[in-house]
Structure 1
Amino acid sequence: MNLSSKFADDTKVGRMADRGEDCQRIQQDMDRLETWAEKWQMEFNPDKCEGVKKPFSVIARHSGDAQAMGQKPITFLRQVLAVCTFTKLFTDQTLPQDVKRRAQEILDNCEGKSIGSYTRSAGMSYVQNNVAKYMEKRDGGIVADPNDIYLMSGTSNSLEIIFKMLIDNRSQGKTGIMIPIPNSPLLSECIALSGGAVIQYSLEEEQGWNLDVLELRRALRESRTHCSPKALCVVNPGSPTGLVLSRDCIETVIRFAAEEGLFLLVDEAYQGSLHGEGSQFHSFKKVLFEMGPKYSSTMELVSLFSISKGHIGESGARGCVMDVTNLDSSVQDYLNKLESIFSCCPLTAQIAIDVAANPPQPGDPSYHLFMDEKRSIQRKMTANAHLTEEMFNSVPGMCCQPISSGVYTFPRIEIPAKAIEEAKLRHQEPDLFYCLKLLEETGHLVIPGKVFGQRNGTYHFRMGILAPTPSLKAALKTITQFHRKFTAEFS
């Protein structure tokens, strides 16, 4: 698909749209869970109010915020940030020389030699160049142009800009965007707010949440009766599913998008968070170029990755990289205009992106500590993924697919017919009823699968696996015990 004709009138601005019925229902479920969590948190704390006393506290087991769940920040990154922020630390003799060297390089590329200044809307050229070098190394030497790299304020900000670029509100029919189910409701929300139509395609749970091109064709064919499909979104590695797509699958998806004239948008936020033997990340850009000029010179692709996940885990920094491939020059000009509306990504986030793309190297004073911290985080996440799979799969009525990547698990739960009837009487979805019962009886807050999308007749919940291993093990024990009790109660 060539987008250039869409921008004949470059004054077009995507209008805000009312949220669809699904988005409203998702928000209602989230609000209800948060209200119950707040209610129980107050009742568990006698200093706040009087109520039913419980022998536990509310624990947010759904969180994907690494540092909120106890992950320590990377020392080198925080030291560089500290020196850039408070330059008197250049005289601190306890700080390694490579920290000071990196901080000086960053400041030398800032206006006024200060991180309190603006940068270009797309980001500092210094950081863009380092990100381009990282991508070239990641992709086996495939050239990355720094001018095609945008440093953004988080994934949500990037998606907002991309959907404003893709969605044409001047035409009578809505622009359709294909998205995977299950997935974060952020995608659906951003599409709805930009005035587009969501086209859902289901991932194959029995195949480990794999992506099947036959399902893509079904979803595309049916969508053409009510919208004009323009783009295909893929999340790889998957979230909350934890799947890493094989190279063959990626190649099949690229061929499908090319045949159907679809723009490709790929969220690769979890590329640095792999678990399990044999898990290997292949970027869509790398596979695209390996497929030859027929695809690499024509396919329009935008890929994203974030510093919120993996060993960096700086969710609060709100740093995201957007890399564009084969955009028509007029389209990229329009993208630059859209991106400039939001001004520049905060410099603290750009510094964190720079460290993620260009960490200490062998021979640097900070190298060994950096690698020790990185490996420690990776070992914990791999152990947590395996522990979660093992414990959930040991319980009748629970099924957890392999967690090959990411920070979540999305187990399937069997809910007895009697519990489903009880949920209907309370005007609740069955998985919401289950999660509320879990919260009320154990204090563990997880999110019902309905929020992320699931096949009719199946039920799931999303839970984070970021907690320290002993804490996670205790939580898994409590949740599996609850499931046995819940099943017995409603059988």
Structure 2
Amino acid sequence: SHLHILHLLVLARKSIEEVIRFAAEERLFILADEVYQSCVYADDTEFYSYKKVLSEMGSTISSTVELASFNSVSKGFMGECGLRGGYVELVNLDPAVKEYARRLFSTRSCPPVVGQMALDLMANPPKPGDPSFPTFSEVSSIKNMICKNTDRIQEVFAELPGISCQQLKAGFFVFPCLHFPPKAIKWKRQMEPDMLYCLHLLEETGLHVRPGCEYGQRKDSHHIRFNIMEDALQRLKTFHTRFMKEFS
């Protein structure tokens, strides 16, 4: 995935070009998970699709590197997790392989009609002047809310001891780094400290977050995966202050 959800970073165009060149040299198939392409909200960040970059790198590369680009209505600002629907675009595949993929997909049950409608809205949204445009503009409201929440989250994290986070640029989750006091680290013999943190958080506040130990984090580092939601932030803030004091 070139929208790196774990760190909420988006690959720059130059980085994508380097990946494509490497794939060309090693004859690798690129699988581009681009389901969060609409969730880029930092002012200094722009989403580039692999297909677009590939098409502009000269015929030698653009006509040979194999690419599969994925998108889904269940992700992004549409966020319709109950309305399953998505697509994959295949580029530069051998015609026989492409035909086999088409047959494979066609043997599966089609997604619900409502899911297909939501997917169509994502791919071809209403335009100004269309009857449904005023209603569809709710998507912009959701995006503005997420941007506001990310600013607030970074303000709160900056105030709290024992927690730090990179600048948020994309995605719906934040992965702050937790710097635990010695007493919490001693729990490592029984369970990972970030798992301990998550269990206490759930029991005391009802918030369900995931520990970084489930995501292959660097040794001796600790994180949580936290949804970008303003209403949960205050509960996390109160709990974190109490937890750090209790385990100091």
TM-score (norm 2): 0.93
Superposed CA RMSD in Å reads 1.7
Partner of 1:72: none
Equivalent in the alignment of 2:51: 285
Higher relative contact order (CA 8 A, sep 6+): 1
Instruction: Give the Cα–Cα distance (whole angstroms) in 1 for the partners of residues 94 and 206 of structure 2.
Output: 52
Are the counterparts in 2 of residues 302 and 322 from structure 1 also a CA contact under 8 Å?
Answer: yes
Which runs of 5 or more structure 2 residues have no equivalent in the other structure? none
3-state SS, counterpart of residue 129 of structure 2: coil
Shift of 1:315: 0.9
**Residue aligning to 1:383:** 148
CA distance in 1, matches of 2:136, 2:114: 19
In structure 2, the partner of 1:396 is 161
Pairing partner for 1:258 from 12, 15, 24 = 24
CA shift for structure 1 position 264: 0.5
Q: Secondary structure at the match of 2:47?
A: coil
- Tell me the alpha carbon deviations over residues 448-486 of structure 1, each in whole angstroms, 9 at most, x when there is no partner: 011222111111011111x4x4x1xxx323323322322
Q: Aligned match of 2:118 in 342, 348, 352?
A: 352
Aligned-residue offset at 1:438: 1.6
Match of 1:482 in 2: 239
Give the letter for the 2:83 counterpart. A
**Which residue of structure 2 lines up, in the alignment, with residue 369 of structure 1?**
135
Distance 1:255-1:480 versus aligned 2 partners, 3 A rule: same
Q: Percent identity?
A: 46
Aligned with residue 204 of structure 2, among 441, 447, 458: 441
Letter paired with 2:192: E
Q: Secondary structure at the match of 2:30?
A: strand
Structure 1 unaligned segments of length 5 or more: list them.
Answer: 1-234
**Greater Rg by CA:** 1
One-letter code of the match for 1:248?
K
Question: Following the alignment from structure 2 to structure 1, what is the Cα–Cα distance between the partners of residues 92 and 226?
Answer: 38
Describe how 1:20-35 pairs up with structure 2 within 5 A: none
Equivalent residue for 1:267, pick from 27, 30, 33: 33
CA contact (8 A) 1:397 1:413 kept: yes
> Which residue of the other structure, out of 58, 70, 79, is the alignment partner of 1:313?
79
Q: 1:396: how far off? A: 2.2
Distance 1:357 1:389 in 2: 32
Alpha-carbon distance between aligned partners in 2 of 1:320 and 1:274, rounded to the nearest angstrom: 19
Q: Contact (CA 8 Å) 1:302, 1:325: kept in 2 or not?
A: yes
Letter in 2 for 1:305: N
CA contact (8 A) 1:236 1:270 kept: no
Separation in 1, partners of 2:95, 2:59: 19
Could you list the structure 1 runs, at least 4 aligned residues long, displaced by more than 6 angstroms after superposition. Answer: none
Choose which of 443, 452, 468 in structure 1 pairs with 2:215: 452
Cα distance in 2 between the residues matched to 1:374 and 1:436:
34
User: Is 1:334 the counterpart of 2:108 in the alignment?
Assistant: no
Q: Aligned ranges for residues 5-404 of structure 1 at < 5 Å? A: 235-371=1-137, 373-404=138-169
Query: CA distance change for structure 1 residues 443 and 369 in 2, over 3 Å: closer, same or farther?
Result: closer
Question: How many Å separate the matches in 1 of 2:186 and 2:147?
Answer: 38
**Aligned-pair CA distance for 1:290:** 0.9
State TM-score, norm by structure 1: 0.48
Q: Report how far residue 367 of structure 1 moved.
A: 2.1
Contact 1:275 1:385 in 2 (8 A): no
Q: Which of the numbers 175, 187, 190 marks the counterpart of 1:410?
A: 175
Cα deviations by residue, 1:156-212 (Å, 9 ceiling, x for unpaired): xxxxxxxxxxxxxxxxxxxxxxxxxxxxxxxxxxxxxxxxxxxxxxxxxxxxxxxxx
Deviations along 1:386-433, whole A, 9 cap, x unmatched?
111221132221111122111111111012232122242xx3222111
